[in-house]
Amino acid sequence: MQFNSLEFMIFFLIIALIYYCFPKKLQPMILLVANIIFYLFSGVANTAIMLGVTIITFLSALLLEKTLQSGNHKRSKGILVATCLVILGLLFYFKYWNFAISILNKIVIGIGHQAIELDEILLPLGISFYILQSLGYLFDVYYKNSKAEKNIVHYMGFLTFFPIVLSGPIERSGNLLTQLKTVKRFDILSAKEGLLRFVYGLFLKLVIADRLAITVNMVFGTPEIYSGIELIIVSMMYAIQIYCDFSGYSHMAIGIAKILGVELRENFRAPYLATSVSDFWKRWHISLTSWFRDYLYIPLGGNRKGKFRKYLFVMIVFLVSGLWHGATFSFIAWGGLNGGLMILEELLGPVWNRICERLKINRECFGYRFFARLKTFLLISMCWVFFRIDGIKPAIRILYQGVSNLQLSKLFGYIFVGFGISVKDVILLVLSIGILFFVDYKKEQGLNLIALLNQQGICFRWLIYLSLVFGVLIYGIYGTVYEQTSFIYFQF
């Protein structure tokens, strides 16, 4: 069941009515039942796996806390390691088993033996997300940042919370679990803000991301027939597509939770207004990057063990992040490329600082920041090619063709004629992306647009509400041409 479906909207309306109309003490149980029903749409076996992970980590955290209180740190460490091995073992089997076997087959075939047969393994939806959330909870208990939850209903509600279980944000127990244990009363302002966030997320997904997907899928399906400038433009279009697709989901998840009285952490902060690659990764998929920072980078040593080890740890984190996204070498290359760019930026930083001082360049002026943002956007778009294309060699060929066969004249011709979208769609995309960057720019300036909208007169407010709703209905997937599509990050 997807957020951009009529079935989900009916489901959520029923759940919200039951949640607020029934006695408040039943809210945790109602929410848990809703979580399980929602996830059951992905399959009974997948639900059993998720509930198994939930029970294992719940019991392990209780045992972990008990051994920590007794002072038996060796045993508590053993419990943590054993539980992590079990949980990560599940993830390895479902997500990486065939990848490992395919690598082994290359070795086996190379030495003249018969290849090992690959199993048909279906990846449970959201497994990468709820496993990281459960591991984060265990680490918090181990490091005494949080107490182990004694109420299994509350804990199961935390790990299976339906707005985030499929694609995040990856929550911490200190935020989400604490909120789920308090009574919620319906608040009209929170509900209105949540609905606005949900509809804006639909706008990003249906009007921008799904429309861009038409061109991206067409061009990247047969990249050899397109010129370099076309491939560069489509790479940038994919960068915007994946942002609108994923941030659209996050907006909807945050909006749904807000209607239920729960505040989720923000997952994006205007990432394409970043002025460097490192700045980008402070703004993109914040819940994941902060998870890797807190539970991998800092435990490895962070920046406390010298420059060389710091760069090594950065590269490890990004390679693991790439592997987390998918069991292919192109995802690993994507992670390594981002990590390498971050390291290169830091190495060249002192040199660039001296150049700016000598030339008296004002790095706070509009022109400098504009070109810094453009440079970052182009670099990130280049990295996204490895994320989108299956295989390192095909991705490299696209990048090489992009710079070796530019044909800049097509910029001034009818470049979009062969892109599968009409002139009307191009105009709509330009206007919609303009709205996206306007909202992000105002957010970057610290302006709360929803609060500002609430201060306006009722006629103006409803004009905005109706424009947004009808814009999604008319120009989204519910129009005459488009079909419902899943979210990109569901595959992870």
Q: Are residues 287 and 363 in the same domain?
A: yes
Entry pTM: 0.93
Q: How far apart are CA 479 and CA 457, in angstroms?
A: 31
Is 325 tagged catalytic? yes
Q: Are residues 29 and 139 in the same domain?
A: yes
Q: Are residues 347 and 246 in the same domain?
A: no
Catalytic option among 154, 251, 285, 325: 325
Q: Are residues 93 and 180 in the same domain?
A: yes
> Which is more confidently placed, 189 or 476?
189
Query: For the residues 320-342, what does the mean pLDDT come to?
Result: 95
What's the confidence (pLDDT) of residue 491?
65
Of 155, 186, 217, the one marking the end of a domain is: 186
What's the confidence (pLDDT) of residue 482?
43
> Which is more confidently placed, 365 or 110?
365
Q: How many CB atoms lie within 10 A of CB 18?
A: 15
Convert the pLDDT of each residue in 251-299 to its tens digit. 999 999 999 999 999 999 999 999 999 999 999 999 999 999 999 999 9
Q: Is residue 396 part of a domain?
A: no
330 contacts 338 by C-beta, under 8 angstroms: no
Q: Is residue 384 part of a domain?
A: yes
Of 390, 423, 448, the one marking the end of a domain is: 390
Q: Are residues 24 and 120 in the same domain?
A: yes
Query: For the residues 8-31, what does the mean pLDDT come to?
Result: 94
Q: Are residues 235 and 281 in the same domain?
A: no
What's the confidence (pLDDT) of residue 107?
85
Q: Is residue 440 part of a domain?
A: yes
In this prediction, residue 45 has a pLDDT band, given cuts at 50, 70 and 90, of very high
Q: Is the pLDDT of residue 61 over 90?
A: yes
Q: Is the pLDDT of residue 371 over 70?
A: yes
343 contacts 315 by C-beta, under 8 angstroms: yes
Q: Is the pLDDT of residue 481 over 60?
A: no
- What HEC string does 179-227 produce? HHCCCCCCCHHHHHHHHHHHHHHHHHHHHHHHHHHHHHHHHHHCHHHCC
Of 186, 218, 251, the one marking the end of a domain is: 186
Q: Are residues 412 and 385 in the same domain?
A: no
Convert the pLDDT of each residue in 99-139 to its tens digit. 998 888 888 887 877 778 887 888 899 999 999 999 999 99
Write out the residue range of the structural domain in which residue 300 sits. Answer: 275-390
Q: Are residues 58 and 191 in the same domain?
A: no
Q: Is residue 1 part of a domain?
A: no
Query: For the residues 163-190, what does the mean pLDDT come to?
Result: 92
> Which is more confidently placed, 119 or 32?
32
213 contacts 487 by C-beta, under 8 angstroms: no
Three-state SS at 248: helix
Q: Is the pLDDT of residue 181 over 80?
A: yes
What's the confidence (pLDDT) of residue 411?
67
What total number of domains does the chain contain? 3
Q: Are residues 10 and 146 in the same domain?
A: yes
What's the confidence (pLDDT) of residue 51?
95
